[in-house]
Structure 1
Amino acid sequence: MKPMPSEPVMSRDALAAFLDDVFPQLHHAGPGPVLVSVGPLAATMRLPYHERHLRPGGTISGPAIMALADVALYAAILANVGPVALAVTTNLSFNFMRKPEPRDLIGEARLLKLGRSLAVGEILIRSEGYDDLVCHATGTYALPPRRD
C-alpha cells in the first residue's frame, strides 16, 4: 500500500495560479472561490459573499454552495497529486444543514482516500465566524492515468 503524502505537492500559491489559469471562469461574473490553504490531504476555500450568490429569501443559493464544495475537493486533490486538469467529478452528495448567514462561506475539504484512479473526500461548509455546519458534502473524483 502506498503511503499517504505527508505534505502537499503543490503550494497554495502554485495551486491558486493553476486554478486561475485553467479555470478563469471561476471569477467571470464577480468574486469566485479563493484558495485559502492547502495541507496534507486537505484544502480550504472561501466563497466571498456577493449578492449574485443569493436566492429568493436572501439566503446563499444551493448551486453556489455546491460549487464551493466541488472546487474545494478538486483543490485538495490537486494539492496532493499535482496539476492534473483532467481530474473529473464522478459523484457529489450534499446534506444541507441550515440556512447560511449572509457572509463568506468557508469550505474545508479533506481526502478520505487518494488512490491511483479515484479520490474520495468530504467537505465541511460553514458561514465565516460560525461553528455550525451549513452543508456536509462527500465526493469522488476520477483521476487520469499517471505517467510515472
Structure 2
Amino acid sequence: MAAGPVMSVAEIEAFLDREFPQIHLGGRVYSVEAVGPMTARMRLAADERHLRPGGTVSGPAMMTLADLVLYVAILAQIGPVGLAVTTNLSFNFLRKPEPGDLVAECRLLKLGKRLAVGEASVFSGASPEAVCHATGTYSIPPR
C-alpha cells in the first residue's frame, strides 16, 4: 500500500509518549529503533520486572513488545491513529530468552483501509534464532 513510512522514529516516539505514557511507568524500557516500508524494529530493555522465576524474560513481556512493534509498524504507514486497535494476536514461544534486551522485528503482510495484518519475531541477545513469533490483526478506524 504505502511506499514508505509517513512517520519517523522521532514522531512515533513522541506520539507514544503523548498518547500512551503508561508504557513508561517505572521507567522508559521500550524504544523504536527503525521504521521502513511495511516494517518496524523495537527494543525492550528488559530489567528485573520483566523476569519470571527461572531467570528468563516473561511471556507477557514478549507479548507486549510484539503487540507494540506491530502497532508501531502500522502507525509508521498510516500516521498517528490512536484508535487503531488489536483485534487478534497469536504467539508461539520458541525458546527461552536470556535475561536482557529483546529486539522485535515486524513485517506487515497486509495493510488495507480497515484491517492490517502483520508478523513479529522477537530475538534475545545476539542469537539469530527467534525466541517468540507472533501474528496480529489490527482494526483501523475510518478516516
For the aligned pair, the TM-score class normalised by the smaller chain equals over 0.9
Once the two structures are TM-superposed, the CA of residue 29 in structure 1 deviates from its matched residue by: 1.6
TM-score relative to the length of structure 1: 0.94
Equivalent position to 1:95, from 92, 97, 117:
92
Equivalent position to 1:73, from 61, 65, 70:
70
Once the two structures are TM-superposed, the CA of residue 49 in structure 1 deviates from its matched residue by: 2.1
Q: Identity rate of aligned residues, in percent?
A: 62
Amino acid corresponding to residue 34 of structure 1 in structure 2:
S
Moved over 4 A (4+): none
Work out whether residues 115 and 139 of structure 2, in 8 Å CA contact, stay in contact via their aligned partners in 1.
Answer: yes
Once the two structures are TM-superposed, the CA of residue 84 in structure 1 deviates from its matched residue by: 0.1
**Alignment of 1:85 onto 2:82:** yes
Once the two structures are TM-superposed, the CA of residue 58 in structure 1 deviates from its matched residue by: 0.7
TM-score relative to the length of structure 2: 0.97
Once the two structures are TM-superposed, the CA of residue 6 in structure 1 deviates from its matched residue by: 1.7
Work out whether residues 31 and 50 of structure 1, in 8 Å CA contact, stay in contact via their aligned partners in 2.
Answer: no
Distance 1:106 1:50 in 2: 14
Structure 2 match to 1:6: 3
SS at match of 2:29: coil
Which runs of 5 or more residues in structure 1 are unaligned? none
Distance 2:70 2:135 in 1: 9
SS at match of 2:56: coil
Larger % of strand: which? Answer: 2
Distance 2:42 2:82 in 1: 18
CA offsets 1:16-37 (integer angstroms, 9 cap, x no match): 1101110101110233311111
Once the two structures are TM-superposed, the CA of residue 122 in structure 1 deviates from its matched residue by: 0.1
Distance 1:13 1:108 in 2: 18
Distance 2:105 2:93 in 1: 15
Structure 2 match to 1:135: 132
CA RMSD of aligned residues (A): 0.8
Equivalent position to 1:52, from 49, 63, 73:
49
Equivalent positions of 1:118-129 (< 5 A) are: 118-129=115-126
Distance 2:18 2:25 in 1: 13
Equivalenced residue count is 143
Which runs of 5 or more residues in structure 2 are unaligned? none
Work out whether residues 59 and 99 of structure 1, in 8 Å CA contact, stay in contact via their aligned partners in 2.
Answer: yes
Structure 2 match to 1:115: 112
